[in-house]
Amino acid sequence: MPNREVIIGLEVHAQMNTRTKMFCGCDNDAWEKEPNTTVCPICMGHPGTLPAPNREAVAKAVRTALELGCTVAPTCHFDRKHYFYPDLPMGFQISQYDFPLARNGIVEYDKPPSPTAVGEGPGVGATQHCRIHRLHMENDAGKLTHVGPKTLCDFNRAGTPLMEIVTEPDLRSPGEAVAFAQELRRILIAVNASEADMFKGMMRFDASISLRERGTEKLNPRSEIKNLNSFKALERALAYEAERLERLWEKTGAPLPGNITVGWRDDEGCTRVLREKEDAQDYRYFPEPDLPPLQCTAEELEEIRKGLPPLPRTQRQEYVRQGLTPSQAQMLLDSPQIQRIFDAVLGHTKDVRKASGIVFTQLLGAAEKHKKGLHELPAPSAILDLLDLVASGAISGNAAKGVLEEMVQTGKPAEDIIAAHDLGQIADEGELQRIVEHALAANPNAIAAFRNGKTQALGAVVGWVMKETKGKADPAKVNALLQKALNPSP
Ligand code: ZN
Ligand code: MN
């Protein structure tokens, strides 16, 4: 596209990881549950029932809004958004319309490599910005499954708390849209507002795209791609639609005459026009009469702000500053389980190289070898127990590698594995002393060489001891005992 640029804005729906649903006490975790088992008269919209806002969901949405740099409204309210669809029990969605929870945020993310650049060219990783237009809360609809001529309805998801996050049209390529969306996902996870598990549909995108001539400021009518469920789909759909709009402009000599809504066909790799005119929908918004306005005082916001974690991007830069590679730092931010383990190990060893060797090489190597998922890794405390045993001299650092692998493989604690394989180091000083005396008698040539000034000859004696004890002696201690025996202090 020589003289036209792509303008992209996103609307993101993120499922909040609360214990209960948005307006009732039903279990919010519907994953792999029998259909229509996590429902009640409130989320099924029975007449006469009253919704009650979920305090935890509001708190999570506020945390997210603040982490995104938004201004949280001192007061806001819910609205009814009416439309008819079989997966919407109440006949309306409880959402927020003209007074959303928060507005005007900004997300910094790393500039992605351009699709034509080879490797990580200049500018990759530089700071890019995408402004957040608004963030509001709403409840989710149920789920329809089409089976032949029939449609099955599962209302387990109906009433699940969602955050809708809308960006300004600040993104300039499909790659930027994905890089921003991935950063947003990390932020949602960091503030513990959403699991943001794409596979489970916990984060979904609607992407708006339009073209304009470079150097012009006016926004042209846009095409909105509905319901993209993965980063891959987001990128492919945007790339497809950008090219389609470009060809259309070439053909008609003008941008789109009006807004359109399209659907992405993942299997066919193309979009289909769903609606020509965007204002065809009239949701008849009006304030939800069953819910009072929400109030947030400045003091409450300040209290929440104090408890916020650092931004993932700041954390990533800090890991890199400490000596991790950018991809290792990224991996920690994308895998909270590994991050928790790494932080614990780093806190224990106070040595980034050592910690990265233990976590990235030994631990993740063992996980891959034994085909263990991240959720099956030993707990940070179990790994620290092992490091304590090494630090106290109970086992050697070398033996610890095998123990860690077996911990990953079997999930057993370090102590059990050490006992089962009799890996403990000889801790008894008297026993070590006897072995050292035995070594002195058994290696007369090396001892003679040492006495003649060949200090390195002592290594052979230490080696003999290690072999004799099957590696269960502490080489540093053996060395010290040998030195003491050969150079009696004055
Ligand atoms: Zn319910
Ligand atoms: Mn929405």
The predicted-structure confidence for 442-486, as pLDDT tens digits, reads as follows: 888 888 888 888 888 888 888 888 888 877 787 778 888 888 888
pLDDT at 141 over 90: yes
Ligand 2 centre distance from Cα of residue 465 (Å): 71
Calculate Rg over the CA atoms of the chain: 31
Torsion angles phi and psi, residue 209, rounded to 5? -140, 140
> Dihedral, CA atoms, 405, 406, 411, 417, nearest 10 degrees?
-130
Q: How many CA atoms lie within 13 A of 135 on its CB side?
A: 28
Ligand 2 centre distance from Cα of residue 160 (Å): 12
d(CA 185, CA 305) in angstroms, rounded, equals 19
Ligand 1 centre distance from Cα of residue 285 (Å): 23
Mean pLDDT, residues 6-16 taken together: 98
Write the CA distances from 353 to 319, 330, 345, 348, integer angstroms: 12, 16, 11, 13
pLDDT at 435 over 60: yes
d(CA 364, CA 405) in angstroms, rounded, equals 9
- Contact in structure between 170 and 207 (CB atoms under 8 Å): no
Ligand 1 centre distance from Cα of residue 49 (Å): 10
Tokens for 185? 């996902």
Residue 319: which of 418, 458, 311 has the closest Cα? 311
pLDDT band at 124 (very low <50, low <70, confident <90, very high): low
Ligand 1 centre distance from Cα of residue 201 (Å): 20
Predicted local distance difference test score (pLDDT) of residue 285: 93
- Contact in structure between 225 and 259 (CB atoms under 8 Å): no
What would the pLDDT profile of 192-251 be if each residue is shown by its tens digit? 999 999 999 999 999 999 999 999 999 999 999 999 999 999 999 999 999 999 999 999
Mean pLDDT, residues 36-44 taken together: 96
What would the pLDDT profile of 314-352 be if each residue is shown by its tens digit? 999 999 999 999 889 988 988 888 999 999 999 999 999
The ligand that comes nearest to the alpha carbon of residue 138 is 2
Query: Which has the minimum average pLDDT: 150-159, 173-182, 316-325?
Result: 316-325
pLDDT at 489 over 70: no
pLDDT at 29 over 90: yes
Ligand 2 centre distance from Cα of residue 164 (Å): 6
- Contact in structure between 159 and 306 (CB atoms under 8 Å): no
pLDDT at 279 over 70: no
Ligand 1 centre distance from Cα of residue 63 (Å): 24
Predicted local distance difference test score (pLDDT) of residue 205: 97
pLDDT band at 114 (very low <50, low <70, confident <90, very high): low
The ligand that comes nearest to the alpha carbon of residue 28 is 1
> Dihedral, CA atoms, 59, 336, 229, 78, nearest 10 degrees?
0
pLDDT at 289 over 60: yes
Predicted local distance difference test score (pLDDT) of residue 399: 83
pLDDT at 424 over 80: no
pLDDT at 51 over 70: yes
Ligand 1 centre distance from Cα of residue 157 (Å): 10
- Contact in structure between 263 and 274 (CB atoms under 8 Å): yes
The ligand that comes nearest to the alpha carbon of residue 38 is 1
- pTM of the entire predicted model: 0.79
Mean pLDDT, residues 9-20 taken together: 97
Torsion angles phi and psi, residue 388, rounded to 5? -65, -40
**Cβ-based burial of 212 (10 A; exposed 0-12, middle 13-18, buried ≥19):** middle
Predicted local distance difference test score (pLDDT) of residue 490: 56
Helices 326-334 and 174-190, interaxial angle, to 10°?
Answer: 60
Tokens for 155? 């209302």
Ligand 1 centre distance from Cα of residue 38 (Å): 7
DSSP H helices in 193-254 = 231-252
- List Cβ neighbours of 93 (8 Å cut-off, separation of 6 or more): 80, 81, 83, 138, 139, 141
Other Cβ atoms less than 10 A from the Cβ of 138: the count is 21
Question: Dihedral sign, CA of 108, 109, 115, 121?
Answer: positive
d(CA 404, CA 382) in angstroms, rounded, equals 10
- List Cβ neighbours of 305 (8 Å cut-off, separation of 6 or more): 66
